[in-house]
């Protein structure tokens, strides 16, 4: 408790809590008097960069439980690697990082979350760091046990958090001090709302995915790295396929799923655009690309020219070989992580990703709009 007390002693009595109107913008909620403290239930989140902004997304309930069990397992928990999201991502507990398994993607920060805050202009709650959440929890436990509220503490960023009561907790951003007009922290804007426990914030937490995989589908993109009108990547589009598939299973085959008669369909993206453009062709194109209308020329070089590459004997074979090797790599890795898999395998291709594939030891060709096995390699 010494760390909590030291945080409280550092604050002056002129803190925002002394102002009579510091809580005027909040609705006070009646609370039942009681001194029984119950530990907070943690939930695990990961951070994604969306539109150049950090967004914290909760793991589904099953993955969060697995992460918490691994975290609480003992001394060697920090060395654990926990598969999440149907085995498509691995979480390294020591690093608190989340890594994609089958494709290249920037690693995401992972956090064991118990306390959250949100400002007026924020759409979602943001979790505090694990260390500061522990300080908040210790302060909350002391307040509940002693039934003494108006607890104040300071964050590492010198931001002030005040626990008025279990239903009203606020977060004031740092202020350099009173200016020549005598402004006070409460006049600098509306404070942030603080919540304890994921059950007290508005966030969608899914149940998770069935462990059993009945079918595997490789999805091959068409020309360019963008795969739809919103210019999303192949990974994002395939995530939508997977979500739609899971929703259809739950709505149309719910009873069979509850009886464990069926599992799920796994969709994995096959990316051939990046390996093609990493062969040095982009450097050659840049030498002959005019500087005028830069965006249009960049879009053309990155997208439309894939059609001409496919019509070139040299680059066409590069595309086919890349698709084949990428499928074999993903499938080998998939079998290593799912040794009991005995389901079927299908290939879905969009636009230029449709005409010709090589999968395993079988060759498939587009014949009258459908895939047929034409030869064995």
Question: How far apart, in whole angstroms, are the C-alpha atoms of residue 259 and residue 254?
Answer: 9
Supply φ then ψ for residue 364, to 5 degrees: -120, 140
Is the distance from CB of 230 to CB of 174 less than 8 angstroms? no
Q: What is the mean pLDDT of residues 54-80?
A: 88
Give the 3-state secondary structure of residue 59: coil
Catalytic residue among 183, 351, 361, 375: 351
pLDDT recorded at residue 273: 77
Segment 125-181, tens digit of pLDDT? 999 999 999 999 999 999 999 888 988 888 888 888 999 998 899 998 866 555 555
Q: Which residues contact 317 (CB under 8 A, 6 or more apart)?
A: none
Q: Confidence band (pLDDT; 50, 70, 90) for 316?
A: confident
What would the mean pLDDT of 13-32 be, rounded to a whole number?
A: 41
Q: What is the pLDDT of residue 317?
A: 83
What is the bridge-based pairing of β-strands 213-220 and 264-270? parallel
Q: What is the pLDDT of residue 309?
A: 73
DSSP 115-180: EEEE-TT-SS-EEPPHHHHHHHHHHHHHHHHHT---EEEE-TTS-EEEEEETTEEEEEPP-----T
> For the chain, percent helix, then strand, then coil, each to nearest 5?
35, 25, 40
Q: Per-residue pLDDT tens for 194-236? A: 999 999 998 889 888 988 999 999 998 877 666 665 667 888 8
Share of the chain above pLDDT 70, in %: 71
Q: What is the dihedral of CA 87, 93, 97, 102, to 10 degrees?
A: -20
CB 62 within 8 A of CB 207: yes
Question: Which pLDDT band, with edges at 50, 70 and 90, does 23 fall under?
Answer: very low
Does 155 participate in catalysis according to the annotation? no
Give CB contacts under 8 A, 24+ apart, made by 18-26: 19/184, 19/186, 21/186, 22/162, 22/170, 22/186, 22/191, 23/164, 23/168, 23/170, 25/190, 26/168, 26/170
Q: Among the listed ranges 207-211, 277-281, 365-369, which one has the minimum average pLDDT value?
A: 365-369
What local confidence, expressed as pLDDT, does residue 315 receive? Answer: 77
Residue 362 has pLDDT above 70, yes or no: no
């Amino acid at each position: 408790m010494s760390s909590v007390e030291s945080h409280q002693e550092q604050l002056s009595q002129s803190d925002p809590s002394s102002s009579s109107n510091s809580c005027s913008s909040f609705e006070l909620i009646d609370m039942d008097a009681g001194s029984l403290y119950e530990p907070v239930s943690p939930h695990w989140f990961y951070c994604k960069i969306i539109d150049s902004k950090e967004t914290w997304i909760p793991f589904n309930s099953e993955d969060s439980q697995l992460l918490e069990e691994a975290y609480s397992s003992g001394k060697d928990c920090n060395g654990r690697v926990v598969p999440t999201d149907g085995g498509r991502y691995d979480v390294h507990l020591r690093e608190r990082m989340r890594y994609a398994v089958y494709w290249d993607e920037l690693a995401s920060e992972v956090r064991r979350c118990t306390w959250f805050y949100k400002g007026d202009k924020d759409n979602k709650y943001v979790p505090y760091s694990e260390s500061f959440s522990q300080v908040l929890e210790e302060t909350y436990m002391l307040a509940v046990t002693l039934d003494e509220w108006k607890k104040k503490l300071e964050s590492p960023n010198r931001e002030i958090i005040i626990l008025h009561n279990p239903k009203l907790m606020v977060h004031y951003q740092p202020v350099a001090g009173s200016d020549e007009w005598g402004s006070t922290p409460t006049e600098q804007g509306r404070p942030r709302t603080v919540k304890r426990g994921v059950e007290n914030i508005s966030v969608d937490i899914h149940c998770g995915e069935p462990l059993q995989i009945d079918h595997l589908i490789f999805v091959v993109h068409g020309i360019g790295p963008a795969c739809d009108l919103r210019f999303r990547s192949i990974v994002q589009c395939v995530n939508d396929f997977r979500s739609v598939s899971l929703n259809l299973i739950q709505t149309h085959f719910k009873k069979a799923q509850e009886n464990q008669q069926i599992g799920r369909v796994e969709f994995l993206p096959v990316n051939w655009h990046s390996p093609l453009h990493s062969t040095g062709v982009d450097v050659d194109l840049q030498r002959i690309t005019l500087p005028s209308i830069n965006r249009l020329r960049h879009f053309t070089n990155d997208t439309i020219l894939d059609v001409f590459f496919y019509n070139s004997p040299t680059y066409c074979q590069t595309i086919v070989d890349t698709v084949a090797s990428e499928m074999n790599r993903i499938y080998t890795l998939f079998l290593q992580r799912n040794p009991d898999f005995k389901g079927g395998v299908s290939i879905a291709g969009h636009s230029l990703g449709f005409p010709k594939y090589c999968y395993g030891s079988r060759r498939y060709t587009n014949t009258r709009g459908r895939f047929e096995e034409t030869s064995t390699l």
